[in-house]
Chains A and B, each alone.
Chain A
Amino acid sequence: MSENRASLVSLKGLTVSFDGVRVLHGVDLEVAAGEAVGLVGESGSGKSVTWLAALGLLPRKAQVSGSATLKGIELIGASPRVLDSVRGGRIAMISQDPASALNPVLRVGKQIGEALALHRGLSGQALRAEALRLLELVGIPDAPRRLDSYPHEFSGGQNQRVMIAMALAGQPELLVADEPTTALDVTIQAQILDLLREIRREMNMALVLISHDLGVISETCDRVGVMYAGRIVEQASAARLFETPQHPYTQGLLASLPPLDGPRRRMRSIPGVVPDPRHLPMGCAFAPRCDRPTSRCLQAQPMLSPLEAGHAVACFHPASAKPGMRAA
């Protein structure tokens, strides 16, 4: 996994409950310096909540337990002073909807400048020069003039670039990108993913990419965690996960993607719906939708355990997908 590289962020047994309903059931995840980790899962699987919890960004009523450390510094329950030094500075986050994350009545140069003043103590000419450099870095054409533009004067893709520029202002060691391209057209999505890849290489920054799109994850990430009902159910290198997925949910997700070439077959879908966190089944949360459950799956919760080096799966019956699998 990441034994050969220093761990940057380490999540251990992270749990989150809202009003007594547990939505995150103990997430363990390591992100090494400079590494790109993908988190994939459907809505409600807990992929965003994991990172909001780690960064202390959940509303007060959320109960968070477990541990999230950044190079040994504990973030869960940390003082606002500690969190402020981490958030935006060492760990930055961008979200799906850049238009609502930007302030509509401030020029973008000013907004990038705020981040630079806060995290790097820049001011005056140096601040403006650095804001300009960042805007150029993220590929905004005619950057000197565009520093004085407002968010509504940019397209959706350009606003996402501005968000990335702001996130980079604090020279973060980790960028958490939560569905950064979901609201964008595919040709613009390709541009933004390319940009993220380039920046990561250039700045040796780690990236956590949260997405429901397996394709986006596979093209961008070194390692992938698949989440279902508040747990990581499979974790492996991107190459391994897409070649030999072991968890029936991962296999189902991959099979649900119709191909762009080759013969067209009836799609294999996962039957049923994502369980309600208030009424989770007793055993494995995926058992009611699984095509190979046994009595054990209905009674006990399988833990994420290593199958071999760098590949862990939470399933009592991990198996490579067989073509004979039942079509739903």
Chain B
Amino acid sequence: MIGRTRIEPLVSAENLRRTYRSRKGLFGATTDVRAVDSVSFAVMPGETLGIVGESGSGKSTMGRLALGLETPDRGQVFYRGLPMPPPGTGEWRKLRQKMQMIYQDPLGALDRRLPVLTQIREPLDIHQPAAARANEEAAAKMLARVGLSPEQGARYPHELSGGQRQRVVLARALMTRPDFLVCDEPVSALDVSIQAQVVNLLADLQAEFGLAMLFISHDLRVVRQISNRVAVMYLGQFVEEGSADDLFAEPLHPYTRALVSAAPQARSAGKAERVVLAGEPPNPARRPAGCAFHPRCPVARPECRVTAPELRSVGPARRVACHAVEAEILSFGEVA
């Protein structure tokens, strides 16, 4: 994506921060939980940025911020270089045609009382109510495009399987011809064999419609499969970012290394040396000082307890936030 002719990012964000206030007990003191902190990113047209991280890492909040469903406390999201209008305004609503969201649970995203084809055409009926005939045709065409029969289109959501429902959600999202899609764990609830079908469909639709995507998942395999670039989140921050191939082939940050090695391999032999992280998943309400990862880090140094490392560029399209990696690079001159 580093071209000579400069391409403008479709969606970008600078220094995003989102804090939730949580109260301990009924009358307890409130604490601020930083779900997302100092995150910047850019998604080029047609590109997929994958976001991986464990529960509580802030990846879903990131998705909501990117769509403007939530307003950041600090920082700004830009769409085609212009600041995202505040949610609920007419301007924002208009923009939402161009940006859509796919959730993990398609049954929750669909209306149980309407046949699915009706739901697929609904976005068009809202945005161009006069063109009923054209809307119907477009919806039927989209239904076929996502691999569903007209007979399935007449069914209600509960009469379809999980994978078929996710196809319906995809079809509905694409009706307004968006150019940006945020997918939050879109295949996590599906069976393995169905996951592959939906991921393939998503890749096809992306190519066909020129979609840019923010693909959020805890599943490294699926993220690698569909993403151009991947960012790893830990406690609300990016700790590493790189191309999908490089990042998983040669993870630099100790957390990415642990994640990659913890992903179970379906292999007969050669069980790789596994980095098993000590400790519990982090609690965003009790964020450790310094580098948030240091209590679980196998290579933590004294300074990690005090100073938070910054996300620094360490090679082509690769950024890492880690004191140990920085020190290694200083002593060897380059990334191994």
Contacts and interface: CB of A to CB of B under 8 A. Distances in A.
B54 A185 contact: yes
Contacts of B199: 258, 267
A237 to B, nearest CB: 9
Max chain B CB contacts within 10 Å: which of A186, A193, A219, A266?
A: A186
B225 A269 contact: no
A190 interface: yes
Contact of A274 (B191, B218, B264): B191
B272 to A, nearest CB: 10
A269 B280 contact: no
B109 interface: no
Contacts of A291: none
Contact of A258 (B224, B262, B280): B224
A33 B224 CA distance: 40
A62 B196 CA distance: 34
Interface stretch (A142-150, A164-172, A248-256): A248-256
B221 A185 contact: no
B228 to A, nearest CB: 10
A260 B192 contact: no
A256 B192 contact: yes
Contacts of A305: none
A216 B271 CA distance: 12
Contacts of A187: 54, 258-259, 262, 276-277, 281
A270 B245 contact: no
A289 to B, nearest CB: 8
B201 to A, nearest CB: 9
Contacts of B221: 257-260
A268 interface: yes
A189 B192 CA distance: 18
B330 interface: no
Nearest to A139: B278
B41 interface: no
Nearest to A265: B225
A157 B263 CA distance: 16
Contact of B268 (A186, A190, A216, A239): A239
B42 interface: no
Interface string A301-328: 0000000000000000000000000001
Given A157-B280, A259-B221, A260-B220, A254 B266 contact: yes
A74 to B, nearest CB: 34
Contact of B192 (A42, A190, A241, A242): A42
A189 B54 CA distance: 11
Contacts of B200: 266-267, 269
B203 interface: yes
Interface in A257-281: 257-261, 264, 266-271, 273-274
Contacts of B260: 260
Given A157-B281, A264-B245, A267-B199, A42 B191 contact: yes
Contacts of B263: 186, 215, 260
Contacts of B245: 264
Nearest to A154: B280
A296 B191 CA distance: 28
Contacts of B163: 273
A188 interface: yes
A219 B271 contact: yes
Given A186-B262, A186-B263, A218-B268, A257 B192 contact: yes
A186 B269 contact: no
A97 interface: no
Contacts of A189: 262, 264
11 contacts: A42-B191, A42-B193, A186-B54, A187-B281, A189-B262, A215-B265, A242-B266, A261-B248, A261-B249, A269-B194, A274-B161
Given A42-B194, A252-B193, A258-B199, 4 more contacts: A187-B259, A194-B276, A253-B192, A261-B249
The 7 closest A-B pairs by CB, nearest first: A215-B264, A269-B196, A185-B54, A214-B266, A258-B225, A243-B268, A270-B193
Interface of A: 42-43, 155, 157-158, 185-191, 193-194, 212-219, 238-243, 252-261, 264, 266-271, 273-274, 328
